[in-house]
Structure formats: structure tokens, C-alpha cells
Amino acid sequence: MNVWWYVLAVFVSYWTIVKELSRRGVLERYGITAHGPLLMIRTERGQHLLEKLAIHRRFWKLYAEFGIPLMIIGMLCMTLILISFDIIFFTTHPQPTALNEPRNILLIPGVNEFIPLGYGLIALFITLVVHEVSHAVLCKVEGIKVKSMGLLLLLVPIGGFAEPDEDELFSAKRRERMRVLTAGVMSNFVIALITFTLFFAMLHGISPTNHNVVIVGVEEGSPADLAGVNIGVVKEVNGVEVYSLSDVYSLLENVQEGENVRIRVDDMESVVVAREEHVNGMKVRGVVDGAPAQKAGIKSGMIIKKIDNKEIRGVEDFRDFMNCTKPGQKVKVITDRGMFEFKLASADGKGFMGVYVQDDVAARKLGLLLMEFPADSYLSLLKSIPHQLDTLGGWLLLITLPILGGLGLGGFTGFTGLLNELYEPIMGGKLYMWITSALFWTGWINFNVGLFNCLPAVPLDGGHVFRDSVATLLERFVCRERVERMVEFLALMFAYIIFGSIVLMIVGPYVNLMK
């Protein structure tokens, strides 16, 4: 049964319980309001703490005042990013990827597939607390009543809120209101700056292990697949530690068909029965998800015999042919299971089919696709990111690091999974690695939540600041009576543009796919 059916069942059960508790008045007794399945959990506690935090009123006003130009810069950047995506969409018609799935638009751990649950929940909690407490403190500084604070819950926490008295907030002077609204984003950016600084500093206390051989794929139906070998870092072959691909190849070279091979991946050892293949053609060892070959129907295990009019007797013939191709070129691939026609994608200015074609001893005898992970280069690239922040590309790399990677080796999700086996701390043990990863995610989620809230669309903070900023600017040139109507029109127009761009980001590539 698909995992999403379980998720749906849990969600329906949750909503049913919420409706019943709301009907009986149980939620109201505990200060909880239900809006459909969304719960607003309120509390009036913490007022005394807010008053104590707000004592340094001059500092907080300067703090929030500095946040106004930062929010406007963030507003411009986020709007330009969305408009750039619209232009890319209409000019290149991209194919759907995991990024277009609605769940990956939300920065919710456990829902977004790129955000690990444990680190993500810690980072999201910190993000929500600093954002909403900052709003509340500035309300106290500006003399605006805070009715309550609380948490937004939709099975899992999806947001927080400080609930000021709206009449007092929107009757306050514009500059006072803008300071209240920018305080949350300002605090998210400050937390991001602190945690990213600590994260990049702690990278200097991490070094690669000596084990760099990584299993990137297991051929379906191969000896390794039957033995239950999974993707991971190869530590030993037949009891001998291995540190490079040449180590693995030398240990497998003289292994005979039917002989047992003991292979330890991470901390698990498997026994694989070796085979010896004699293939007339080139065997497909794996296919890249979303690549032209996969979309055309080519699968792992097929044998490519001819491409167009060229005979393919092995990997060298295949590489010679592909080196002479161009992106968009139409090819006819003849395999042992039929003929496939499709257009090549682009990679380094040449045609890209999207098949794994390793012709090495590990692939032949065990069915393993191996690579030697460039651990030193990967760590150096991570360390270099702060030095790239004087360019737009550096900022885009930081924003998309867990999703797109930008390092040529996939997204960085902290020192988890494979990276936890490929790197070790100079001191501090596993706790050091855990803290480093937690710092990264805290910085990343704070930074992205801050940027998202800069968007000039009500009800986001940026939407309200946009309205006040435009009104202040227009009053210099237009009579006060017309300002309100013009501001309403512009705010509505930007809200529609931003909402439309987000919808286009999610559904647009699927519309292209159906054409």
C-alpha cells in the first residue's frame, strides 16, 4: 500500500477528531480555535516576559528600523526570482521534477522530502519562536496590545503567530507598524547569520575518512541485488579494507564465477555470489530518473546493440557515439527488447541519454555501480560558499543547497546518510557532526522563511510593508484621497502575480508534459 494512503488515512482521522472536539466545545475551553483542520493554539501567558524583553526600547526600534531596508531588498529579490522562473517556464518549458511537487514547496519537515525530520523540526521550532516573539516584543515597544501568542497546527506545526490587537496595529503610525512587521523577518535573518557563521566555522573541524568508494546503484536482479546490498560506502571486500576503486577492482579481478564475495557496506556485511558475463552489445546498468532514456522506456538490464547506424559492441563504442551528439538530436536505439526513439537532453554541450554504462569488474561480476567520491573536493566546495556570497550565484547556491546542490554531487542535507560515513570530526565525535548539521538546517530554514515572508503579498509581512511603503511614496505625488485606491490596486495585482507564479511553479511543468 502506498505510503500516501496511510498519510491520507491519518489526516482524515485527525480532522474527524478535531471536528468532534470542536463541536463539543473542548477545544474552546483550552484556548484552541479550529479553522477546518487548522488549529490555532493560543495562550496569554508570557506577557511579563515580553515586557522585560521590551525594556530596551531604543535598541529594539533601531533593530527593527534596520530590518525595513533588508525586507525591501528581500522583497525585490524574491519577486525577481519568481518572475525569472515565469520567463524560464515560458521560454524553455521545463519537465516536472520533485521540486514541482506541492509538498516540496512547503518548508515542513516530514512533508518536504528534502528536509530531514529531526533536524528540520528543531530548526522550524527555532524559526517560529524567534519570528513571532520578535513581532510581540516590537508590539510592546510601540505600545500595541498583544492579545495572545500561539502555534498553528496541521497535524504538525506549520507556523506560529503573535496576535496583536488589530485595531491598535492598523491605527498606529505607518513607521511603527512597519517596524512591528519587519521584526520577525529581521530576527530570522539574524539567526541565519549566526548559525551559518558557526556552521561554516565548524566545517574546519571535519575531515574525510579514508573510505571513498560509494555504491551509487545496484543492478536489478544482479547477485548484489539478490544478496540485499544497498547504496552506501564500501568499507571491506573479503575482509580487506578498501580505500579506492582500484582496491576494489584488484580484489575482484581473480574472483571466479560462483565464488562468494564478502562485501561490507557501512556497518553491514553481505555475501554475494559472483557471476561472469559475456555480453554481445552494451548492457544498461541503470537509468537516470527523468532522463530521455527512462522516459522512452529503456530499463536496467537491457542490452543496447545499435544506435542509429552504429554498432555498439561495448562502452567505448557508446562513448564514441555520444561524444559526437548534440542536445535535441533524435536517436534510434535498438536493444534486445525492442527499438526506442527519443531526443537527447543536454550535458556539457553534448547529447545526454541518461544511462549508466560502467564496464568494470564490479558491474560485471556483482552488479554494482561504483564511484570514487571526491570527499576533499566536496568539503572544499562547501567551505568556499561564504567567499561566493559577493555574487548572485553564491546566494542562489546557498538558498538551493539542499535541493539542487550546485556542487555537482546532489543536494547537501547535513552530515547524514552517506556523508556521515564519508566524513568524521577531528574531535567531539558524533555530537560534533550532529551540531554541525543542526546549525546548517537552522540557518537554512530561518533564511528561507525570512525571504518568503518578504514577498509583497498580503497576508505575509512583506505584503503589509509593501502597502505602507507604496502609500508613503505615493503621498508625495498623489492626493491622499486617491492613494488608498491605488495602494489597494497595486497590492491586489502583486498578490495575484505572486500567487499565479507559485501555482505555475507547481502545475506548469505537468501541463507541458500533457501537451
Q: Does the pLDDT at position 165 exceed 90?
A: no
Mean pLDDT of 408-415: 74
Strands 232-237 and 240-241: antiparallel
Domain with CATH 2.30.42.10 in the chain: 286-356
Q: Does the pLDDT at position 160 exceed 90?
A: no
Topology of 286-356 in CATH?
Pdz3 Domain (2.30.42)
| C-beta of residue 234 within 8 angstroms of C-beta of residue 242 | yes
**Percent of residues, the chain, with pLDDT higher than 70:** 94
String of DSSP letters for 203-270:
GGGEEE-S--EEEEEE-TTSHHHHTT--SEEEEEETTEE--SHHHHHHHHTTPPTT-EEEEEETTEEE
> SS3 of 295, please?
helix
Q: Does the pLDDT at position 188 exceed 90?
A: yes
Q: Does the pLDDT at position 3 exceed 60?
A: no
Q: Does the pLDDT at position 239 exceed 60?
A: yes
* Residue, of 162 and 263, whose pLDDT is higher: 263
Cα 136 from Cα 132, distance rounded (Å): 6
Mean pLDDT of 459-484: 83
Tell me the pLDDT tens digit for each residue of 264-286: 998 899 999 998 877 778 888 88
Per-residue confidence (pLDDT) for residue 396, from 0 to 100: 84
Q: Does the pLDDT at position 513 exceed 70?
A: no
Q: Which of 295, 293, 300 is nearest to 96 (CA)?
A: 295
Cα 219 from Cα 201, distance rounded (Å): 40
Tell me the pLDDT tens digit for each residue of 123-152: 988 998 899 889 999 999 999 988 887 777
Cα within 13 Å of Cα(469), Cβ side: 21
- Please report which confidence band the pLDDT of residue 511 belongs to, taking 50, 70 and 90 as the band edges: low
Q: How far is CA 355 from CA 301, 350, 473, in A?
A: 11, 14, 57
CA dihedral 464→465→468→471, nearest 10 degrees, is: -100
Please, what sign has the CA dihedral across residues 360, 366, 369, 371? negative
State the pTM of this model.
0.78
Q: Does the pLDDT at position 312 exceed 50?
A: yes
Q: Does the pLDDT at position 56 exceed 60?
A: yes
In Å, the largest CA–CA distance within the chain is: 90
- Please report which confidence band the pLDDT of residue 236 belongs to, taking 50, 70 and 90 as the band edges: very high
